[in-house]
Chains A and B, each alone.
Chain A
């Protein structure tokens, strides 16, 4: 018997989830379509006034990214819970938080990375300048993994509960507030010429904190869900 190391197990989880996402591309692409549609509807609804669009742009794009992430949270553990794969994962000889990191990383690659990559294009829709667009992308690069980490706790807590979609939103949205404030604040600061470093640093701190605590909390919630 060759016992896999933690790294092998983590990579195994990531590989499987990415392969599954490739097999169900439409499901994986849904949050991205949602983001694009929401971000495109706002300029149509608010009007073409560049000053207004520039003012609301950071907040709108960040809220859209946050909701897109929320939309995809159901996928993180539900399927594994229903088909018995989660039971198998809990019973392997690796710490469950490590496997949770793998699951969350895969979720971020599927739901978060496309948001980061699309953000410059969406930023241009709101008339953001080059620097603000770069700050938007950077803030999303720091913020979206945090959203995935926090979201995973909520997704694990509501496993097996009826109406879990709404419940996860109620649980997770208050925890998303700091990320939203710092993320949108970073872009707004850049637009105001104040500099985005402070907000970006706070986003980085949120990411580090969530990387440290969220896997343990999620693993505990998963064990409770499986009892």
Chain B
């Protein structure tokens, strides 16, 4: 619900390991709300989200330990460098965060070493988004929830992120991606959920 308006109802979807659920729909159709419900940040009006048969609101930290969430906000600090940002967030989430690994992650997402030690505030929107997405290269969590991950990214970076998502799926992880762009993945690993708001 948003105010008095019901965004979506009767959504019943199961995401298997090794697959990706692409949530698509018009602006305001409730894609981000859907993803936030999957994180438990937003409680559903009715129904439940189950992880391995258990309600995520009961599991709480046990579920969060499985989760990598990148929202539409980047979750990076402007006054810290990309390296400091990644080390701080990976340190909290339990992802790998040694300095070489963090540098490698930033390079993997297409950020050159020259920007690794600059304050994030001097980077472009696309570069900041890449700092946020570099967390995917450090993540060892099986569940990825990504809100418009390709926003502000150029074609090359989009391809890098898609490749990383694909390798995550090959490793047995699962992903839910809210996007208004086409995700270039084989049709056997992707299912689409259209929200009509």
- Enumerate chain A interface residues (CB-CB to B < 8 A): 1-4, 8-9, 12-13, 15-16, 19-20, 23-24, 79, 82-85, 87-95, 99, 226-227
State how many angstroms separate the Cβ of B175 from the closest Cβ of chain A.
Answer: 15
Q: A20-B80, A88-B89 are in contact. List 4 more A-B contacts (CB 8 A).
A: A16-B88, A19-B80, A88-B71, A93-B61
Q: Which among A1, A84, A88, A99 has the highest number of chain B CB atoms within 10 Å?
A: A88
* Nearest B residue (CB) for A10: B92
State how many angstroms separate the Cβ of A19 from the closest Cβ of chain B.
Answer: 7
| Number of residues of chain B lying within 8 A (CB) of chain A | 33
The answer to whether residues A94 and B61 also contact, given A9-B92, A24-B79, A83-B76 and a CB cut-off of 8 A, is yes
Flag B43-74 by CB within 8 Å of A: 1 or 0 each. 10000000000000000011011010101111
**Chain A CB within 8 A of B75 CB:** yes
Q: Is the CB of A83 within 8 A of B75?
A: yes
Q: Is the CB of B79 within 8 A of A20?
A: yes
In the bound assembly, the distance between CA atoms of A13 and B89 in angstroms comes to 9
In the bound assembly, the distance between CA atoms of A94 and B63 in angstroms comes to 11
**Chain A CB within 8 A of B39 CB:** yes
Taking CB atoms, residues of chain A closer than 8 Å to B91 are 4, 8-9, 12
**Residue in contact with A93 in the complex, picked from B40, B64, B88, CB distance below 8 Å:** B64
- Enumerate chain B interface residues (CB-CB to A < 8 A): 39-43, 61-62, 64-65, 67, 69, 71-80, 84, 88-89, 91-96, 119, 140-141
* Nearest A residue (CB) for B39: A91
Q: Is the CB of A83 within 8 A of B78?
A: yes
Taking CB atoms, residues of chain A closer than 8 Å to B65 are 3, 93
Taking CB atoms, residues of chain A closer than 8 Å to B77 are 16, 20, 79, 83, 85
* Nearest A residue (CB) for B79: A23
